[in-house]
Structure formats: structure tokens, C-alpha cells
Amino acid sequence: MITIISGTNKKNSLSRIVASLYYSRLRSMNINTRFLALDDISYDFVSDTMYDKKSPSILKLQEQVFNPTQKFVFVLPEYNGSIPGVLKLLIDALDVRQAFEGKKAALTGVATGRAGNLRGLDHMASILIHMHVTVMPYMLPISRVKDELDIMGELNNPATEKVVHAHVKRILEF
């Protein structure tokens, strides 16, 4: 199974729009795919004991989403030159060996600026490699993502759609 993760808990985020494009493309190819948006999950697991005693909600999320996943596609917005802290918090709350070790991940960065979250992509790659995840070498930065949307909030740039579709193809071959 491939799990697409929209890496922010911000409602109506640009990351979610881009992550949805990946999800739709994979589903149209009849690939077993799951979509996880961090704005859809409960954060009741956050406490000073979260590292010692796992909450029922984080155990359920781990068992239903993370453990069965073989490949992850992380769509990562740029937050202060890196990734959103909420994503790192979620990773820290999981049993890393069960959730990530030996699996694969592809990374896409999104930003309203020029760099497409290049620093965040590198940071996330370092985190994943430390957890023994194989990171796909081709990471896709999408710059000026707001300029890519139409008035309905849908991605409408054929060039961007083309590179996303090419990225999806590489993910499947990876």
C-alpha cells in the first residue's frame, strides 16, 4: 500500500491540494492507496507521557495506516525553512521501527516562494534515513504553488501536473 501524507494540520492547505493530486492519480491507476491529511487526525495523543504510554488513537493510526504502508509520499509545506512541527511530533509519537523501518518514501515540497521547500525536503530525508527508510532520490519541489491554482483552488498548470504524473511513475518504479 502507498500512503499519501499531507504534512500539515492547517485547514484547506495548499499541501492538501497537491497531495490530493497524487492520490487521485494513483487511484485512477487502481493502485492500493490511502490518503492521510494531518488536519483530519486527533491530537489527543499529545501529552508528557506520549513517549512511554501510547494513546489508543495513536495505536489505531499506527495499526491502520502506518504499519501496512510500504511506500509513503510526503507532501511537505515549507514552515520556517523546514517541515511542520506537527509532522515531526506525529513521527515521534509512533513506534518508529514498526511504522517506518525498511520502508520507502518519496518527497514533494510545496512553498509559495521560489525554492519549493528544498531545505525541508533535505531535513525530512535526513529524518527518514535515520529511521532506516529508503528515500527516493528524486525529490520534487513545487515553487510558487499559489500561482499554480485556479479560482476554484484546483491545480491548473499543465506543466506542474506533468511533473507530478512523472513523479508518480517514478514512485511506482521505486
- Model confidence over 76-92: pLDDT tens digits? 999 999 999 999 999 99
Indicate the DSSP class of residue 156.
Answer: -
For 48, counting Cβ atoms within 10 Å of its Cβ (0-12 exposed, 13-18 middle, 19+ buried), the class is exposed
**Residue 76, SS3 per DSSP:** strand
> Does the pLDDT at position 23 exceed 90?
yes
Higher pLDDT, residue 43 or 98: 98
pLDDT in tens, 59-76: 999 999 999 999 999 999
- Whether the predicted model's global pTM rises above the 0.85 cut: yes
pLDDT of 115 reads 86
| Element holding 105 (H helix, E strand) | strand 104-110
Percent of the chain surpassing pLDDT 90: 75
| Angle made by CA atoms 38, 48, 40, in degrees to the nearest 5 | 15
What pLDDT does residue 147 have? 86
- Do residues 76 and 108 lie in contact, with contact meaning Cβ atoms separated by under 8 Å? yes
- φ, ψ of residue 134 in degrees (nearest 5): -85, 120
Span 126-143, average pLDDT: 97
CATH architecture of 2-173: 3-Layer(aba) Sandwich (3.40)
What was the pLDDT predicted at 171? 97
